[in-house]
Structure 1
């Protein structure tokens, strides 16, 4: 969609330059684009300016969303014996290795987000094209997640799993 919009804008700009340089003899470059020469009311200009600002802010928001955000998050527990600090990447590394050892799994990316009191786990499981996805998900729910919950002391840890399968025709995504 963005490529098509870019192509249309590129063609419109090329047409405007061609008309300005008199490469299109059917169009008079000195003719007015719209009939009449009166300016529109002031409120129309303000509305157009406000709409342009809103569109620009939406574009900036979209652009910012394209930047990957991988920051290291640390969890900290404090008790009478002292304080414990652990990186979420360190906490999920053994879990990801365990899931990678499952039959049909090529690679696992695990990301633990949120505070340690209400954590969320996002998994991207890259599997072979003939892998048993239900079996993999069942093993994650029955074996891997309970161990991770116990290790972290978070019994309410939920996981969102995204499967990415590879086959001879390319990558297909299954959620």
Structure 2
């Protein structure tokens, strides 16, 4: 809903700017493009114009940064181990996939997204569990902690693997977040 409203506001502002440009260029009949918009013709001091322009640039850059942050990014990194027998390389997505598949088989779970981040010496696991509305969240979390995570820790050789779990429930067609 938030992104929809922001997009709608952007479209309204874009239409207003296009309308102003059309009037300025004389494409709108019945409106005098040389007419005064506000009373008075004295320009403000130059420093006011510079401050307004600088503020507009800063606001535009902040908006651009926010917009870029909205794009979902999937970071896939590769972990490497080396020993006397050779080197092992594995992507974090490959390491997390069997764990996500296992958790998906738990009762009440519809889908699981798992992401391993950080170096292989101190990884972190982020889970997004999409569950049915009547699912036993405590039971799912207990199975993740008691069954799934110990196996993943053993498989990766990382006993200090930390995990965060976000549950997203489906009560109807809309998803609601439960943390």
- Please classify the TM superposition score into its range, dividing by the shorter chain length: 0.7 to 0.9
2:141 is aligned to: 137
Question: Equivalents in 2 of 1:166, 1:46: separation in Å?
Answer: 51
1:126 is aligned to: 130
RMSD: 2.4
- Is 2:106 the partner of 1:102? yes
1:84 shift after superposition? 1.2
Question: Equivalents in 2 of 1:54, 1:74: separation in Å?
Answer: 37
Runs of 5+ in structure 1 lacking a partner? none
- Is 2:179 the partner of 1:170? no
1:103 alignment partner, SS class: coil
Question: Equivalents in 1 of 2:108, 2:123: separation in Å?
Answer: 28
- Is 2:44 the partner of 1:43? no
TM-score by length of 1: 0.83
Write out per-residue CA displacement over residues 39-65 of structure 1, whole angstroms, 9 at most, x where no aligned residue: 222211221121121122112212222
Runs of 5+ in structure 2 lacking a partner? none
Matched pairs, number: 172
1:22/1:29 contact within 8 Å kept: no
- Summarize the Cα distance change of 1:57–1:18 in structure 2 as closer, same or farther, 3 Å threshold: closer
Question: Equivalents in 1 of 2:130, 2:53: separation in Å?
Answer: 47
1:68 is aligned to: 72
1:12 shift after superposition? 4.0
- Is 2:94 the partner of 1:90? yes
1:167 shift after superposition? 2.6
2:87 alignment partner, SS class: strand
1:110/1:123 contact within 8 Å kept: yes
1:125/1:162 contact within 8 Å kept: yes
TM-score by length of 2: 0.81
Aligned mate of 1:54, from 45, 53, 58: 58
Question: Equivalents in 2 of 1:143, 1:11: separation in Å?
Answer: 56
